[in-house]
C-alpha cells in the first residue's frame, strides 16, 4: 500500500488517499482535535493519457464524509475510455451512491469526462417517476437535433436514476421506502452533484467554472429543486414544463380522473369524442393568431370563443340532444360536467406550504383553450374507461404508495386528501419544489429560464403561469427580470403536439450567465414530420406570436410577439 496524499488543515478528521493498484479509496481516520475539515488530496490525473486517467478512476471509493447529504459513500463501478464520432473522446464513469437504510436502493449515476473539457458541467434531469439511468450522452431536453450534444461541446455531463430502478411509467413501489422517496424527492440531485465534482477535480485538477442544470417535466421539477434547495451549486438552469408543484399536481390528477369516473362512468370521454371536441376548438381558434396553421396561439381569445362549450343547453354546439350520450360526435351533460370540473382550479381545505395564500390551489387544466388533448393524454388513446386516462396513473400511484401507503385504497371512491393532511404536508416538503424563495440563487448571480407548452396535456401550463405570478409578487418585475425569464410556446405538447418545439436554451443560458446578455425572444423549430423545419418566435409570457399578414408562414420572421 502506498500513501499518495495527506491533507490536514484545521481538520476534525484526517483523510488519506490510498492507492492499491487501480483501486482508489479515501480512508477515514478519527482525530482527537476539533478543527475544520477540508477536501482530501485527490489523484492528479490531468497529466496522464486519457486511457491512464480513466482507468485509474475505476474502483474509486468516495466516503460518505464528502457527500453533503446522508449516504454510505459512493463507488465507481466502471470507468471506460470511449472515442466515438458523435462525442469525441471521453471517460464514461458509472457508479453507485450507497444508501444508508438496508431496504433502499442505491443511486446509480453516470459522469462523462470529455478530453476537450470546456471547464463547465451540465446535470441532466429525469422524467416521470424516474427509475432509469440518465446518461447525459444525448441532447439536453428539447435541444435542437441539428446541434452538437453538450458532451461533444466539451461539457462534463452527469445524471442518475434518482435512487431506484423501475421499468418506467408510474411504478411507485419505491415510495414505500423513505430514503428512496427522499432521494427521488430531491436529495439525489445534491448527492450526484457532489460525487461528480470530486471526480471532475480528480480528472482535471479543477472544479468547473460554471455548473448548469437542464431538465423537463420531472426534470423541470428537479431544475427548480436545484435553484431552490442547492443554489450554491449552480450558476444557471433551464426548466421545461416543470412538474415543480408535484404533490398538488398529482392530487389534481386524482381529481381529474375522478371527474372522468363520475356518474358511474357516464362522464368518461372516449377518444372519438375527444377528437370531436378538439375539432370544434380548432375551428373556433386556429385563425385567431392571424393564420390557420394547426397552432392555437391566442389562448385568451380562444377561451372567449369557446365559452358556449361549457354550457348544458342547446347553445352548446357540441352537446348531444337533451344532454344524453347518443353518439361520438357530441358530448352528454355528464361529459360536459367532466370538462368543467377539469377547468376548475383544484383546492385543498388545508395549507401545505408557507409561501403564500395560493399554496393549496392548483390551477385549471384549460380544456376549453385547446390544451389537455395532445399526445394521447386525454384520454389515453385506445383506452376504454376512466382508469385508462393518463392522469389516473399519477393520481392513483401517489395517494396509494406515498400518501396512504395502502395499496388496496380505492383512490377514485375512498380517497379524501383532508384525511391525510399531515402526511401530504410532509410529502410536499420533500417532493415538491414550489417555493418562490430564490434569494440565495439570485444573490450569487444565478440565472433561471423556464418555459411551458400551451398544448401540454400532462402538466397544465397554468401551473407555470401561477408560479411566475407568485415570483412577480415576491420580487417585483424589475428585480425578477435580473435573473428569471419565463416563456410559453403555442402548440407544444408534453411530448409532441402540433408544434413539436426544439430550441437552443443552453446557448441562451450561457450568454446570460457568462456574458451578461439577458435573453430576449427565442426561436423554436418544429420537428414534426409533416411540418419539420418551420420556426416560430418563443415569446416572453404573456406575449404570443401573431402572424404579420404576409411572409413565409413557416418562418419565425413572419410573426411578431404581441399581448
Return the pLDDT at 51: 67
Mean pLDDT, rounded, of the chain: 88
Tally of CB atoms within 10 A around 87: 22
The model's pLDDT over 261-277, given as tens digits with 9 standing for 90+, comes to: 899 989 998 888 888 89
Q: What is the pTM of this model?
A: 0.91
* CA nearest to 498, candidates 212, 196, 216, 289: 289
Q: What pLDDT does 470 receive?
A: 94
Please state the domain extents for the chain: 1-38, 42-208, 249-431, 439-562
Q: What pLDDT, on the 0 to 100 scale, is given for residue 27?
A: 33
Residue 483 has pLDDT above 50, yes or no: yes
Q: Return d(Cα 370, Cα 278) in angstroms, integer.
A: 7
**508-521 average pLDDT score:** 98
User: Residue 32 — very low, low, confident or very high, per pLDDT cuts 50/70/90?
Assistant: very low
Ordered DSSP codes for 46-103:
TTS-HHHHHHHHTT-EE-GGGSSSS-S-EEEEEEEEEEETTTEEEEEEEEEEPPSSTT
Distances (CA, A) of 276 to 294, 331, 434, 461, 471: 15, 9, 36, 23, 38
Least confident of 227-236, 350-359, 542-551: 350-359
How wide is the angle at C-alpha 458 spanned by C-alphas 306 and 220, nearest 5°? 125
Amino acid 52: pLDDT: 73
Residues sharing a CB contact under 8 Å with residue 98, sequence separation 6 or more, in sequence order: 71, 72, 73, 74, 75, 106
Residue 215 near residue 425 (C-beta atoms within 8 A): no
Q: What percent of the chain has pLDDT over 70?
A: 87
Which has the higher per-residue pLDDT, 498 or 3? Answer: 498
Q: Give the model's confidence band at 240: pLDDT under 50 very low, under 70 low, under 90 confident, else very high.
A: very high
Model pLDDT, residue 45: 54
Between CA 232 and CA 309 the distance in angstroms is 49
Q: What confidence category does residue 169 fall into, taking pLDDT thresholds of 50, 70 and 90?
A: confident
DSSP labels for 472-515?
HHHHHHHHHHTTEEEEEETT--SS--SS-EEE-HHHHHHHHHHH
What is the tens place of the pLDDT at every residue in 94-140?
999 999 998 899 999 999 999 999 999 999 999 999 999 999 999 99
Is the pLDDT at 8 greater than 70? The verdict is no
C-alpha cell at 101: 437504510
Segment 285-294 mean pLDDT:
95
Query: Cell numbers at residue 55, please?
Result: 482507468
Is the pLDDT assigned to residue 351 strictly greater than 60? yes
Residue 362 has pLDDT above 60, yes or no: yes
Coil/strand/helix, residue 232: helix
Judge contact between 148 and 236, C-beta under 8 A. no
Of 323, 301, 324, nearest to 312 by C-alpha is: 323
pLDDT at residue 252 above 70? yes
Q: Tell me: the pLDDT tens digits for 400-430? A: 999 999 999 999 999 999 999 999 999 999 9
How many CA within 13 A on the CB side of residue 85?
Answer: 0
Residues forming a β-bridge with 114 = 90
Amino acid at each position: 500500500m502506498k500513501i499518495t496524499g495527506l491533507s490536514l488543515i484545521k481538520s476534525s478528521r484526517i483523510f488519506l488517499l490510498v492507492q492499491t493498484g487501480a483501486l482508489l479509496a479515501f480512508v477515514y481516520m478519527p482525530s482527537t482535535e476539533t478543527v475544520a475539515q477540508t477536501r482530501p488530496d485527490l489523484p492528479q490525473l490531468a497529466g496522464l493519457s486519457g486511457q491512464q486517467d480513466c482507468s485509474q478512476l475505476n474502483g474509486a471509493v468516495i466516503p460518505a464524509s464528502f457527500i453533503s447529504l446522508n449516504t454510505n459513500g459512493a463507488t465507481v463501478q466502471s470507468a471506460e475510455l470511449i472515442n466515438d464520432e458523435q462525442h469525441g473522446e471521453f471517460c464514461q464513469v458509472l457508479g453507485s451512491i450507497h444508501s444508508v437504510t438496508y431496504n433502499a436502493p442505491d443511486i446509480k449515476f453516470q459522469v462523462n469526462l470529455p478530453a476537450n473539457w470546456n471547464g463547465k458541467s451540465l446535470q441532466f434531469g429525469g422524467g416521470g417517476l424516474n427509475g432509469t439511468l440518465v446518461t447525459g450522452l444525448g441532447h439536453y431536453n428539447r435541444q435542437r437535433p441539428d446541434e452538437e450534444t453538450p458532451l461533444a461541446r466539451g461539457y462534463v455531463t452527469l445524471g442518475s436514476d434518482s435512487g431506484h430502478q423501475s421499468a418506467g411509467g408510474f411504478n411507485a413501489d419505491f415510495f414505500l421506502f423513505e430514503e428512496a422517496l427522499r432521494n427521488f424527492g430531491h436529495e439525489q440531485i445534491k448527492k450526484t452533484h457532489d460525487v461528480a465534482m470530486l471526480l471532475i477535480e480528480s480528472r482535471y485538477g479543477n472544479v468547473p467554472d460554471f455548473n448548469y442544470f437542464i431538465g423537463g417535466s420531472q426534470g423541470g421539477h428537479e431544475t427548480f429543486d436545484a435553484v431552490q434547495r442547492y443554489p450554491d451549486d449552480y450558476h444557471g438552469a433551464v426548466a421545461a414544463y416543470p412538474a415543480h408543484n408535484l404533490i398538488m399536481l398529482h392530487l389534481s390528477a386524482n381529481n381529474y380522473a375522478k371527474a372522468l369516473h363520475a356518474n358511474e362512468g357516464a362522464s368518461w370521454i372516449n377518444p372519438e369524442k375527444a377528437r370531436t371536441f378538439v375539432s370544434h376548438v380548432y375551428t373556433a381558434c386556429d385563425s385567431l393568431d392571424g393564420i390557420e396553421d394547426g397552432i392555437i396561439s391566442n389562448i385568451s381569445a380562444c377561451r372567449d370563443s369557446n365559452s358556449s362549450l361549457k354550457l348544458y343547453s342547446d347553445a352548446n354546439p357540441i352537446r348531444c340532444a337533451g344532454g344524453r350520450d347518443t353518439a361520438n360526435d357530441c358530448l352528454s351533460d355528464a361529459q360536459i360536467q367532466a370538462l368543467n370540473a377539469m377547468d376548475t382550479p383544484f383546492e385543498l381545505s388545508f395549507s401545505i406550504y408557507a409561501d403564500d395564500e395560493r399554496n393549496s390551489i392548483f390551477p385549471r387544466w384549460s380544456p376549453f383553450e385547446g390544451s389537455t388533448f395532445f399526445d394521447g393524454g386525454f384520454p389515453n388513446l385506445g383506452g376504454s374507461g376512466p382508469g385508462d386516462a393518463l392522469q389516473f396513473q399519477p393520481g392513483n400511484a401517489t395517494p396509494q404508495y406515498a400518501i396512504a401507503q395502502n395499496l388496496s385504497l380505492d383512490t377514485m371512491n375512498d380517497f379524501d386528501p383532508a384525511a391525510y393532511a399531515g402526511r401530504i404536508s410532509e410529502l410536499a416538503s420533500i417532493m415538491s419544489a414550489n417555493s418562490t424563495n430564490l434569494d440565495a440563487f439570485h444573490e450569487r448571480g444565478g440565472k433561471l429560464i423556464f418555459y411551458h407548452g400551451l398544448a401540454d396535456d400532462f402538466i397544465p401550463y397554468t401551473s407555470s403561469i401561477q408560479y411566475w405570478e407568485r415570483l412577480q409578487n415576491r420580487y417585483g418585475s424589475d428585480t425578477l427580470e435580473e435573473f428569471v425569464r419565463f416563456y410559453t410556446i403555442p402548440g407544444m405538447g408534453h411530448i409532441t403536439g402540433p408544434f413539436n418545439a426544439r430550441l437552443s436554451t443552453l446557448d441562451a443560458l450561457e450568454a446570460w450567465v457568462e456574458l451578461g446578455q439577458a435573453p430576449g425572444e427565442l426561436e423554436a423549430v418544429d420537428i414534426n414530420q409533416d411540418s419539420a423545419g418551420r420556426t416560430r418566435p418563443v415569446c416572453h409570457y404573456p406575449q404570443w406570436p401573431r402572424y404579420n399578414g404576409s411572409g413565409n408562414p413557416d418562418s419565425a420572421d413572419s410573426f411578431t410577439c404581441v399581448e
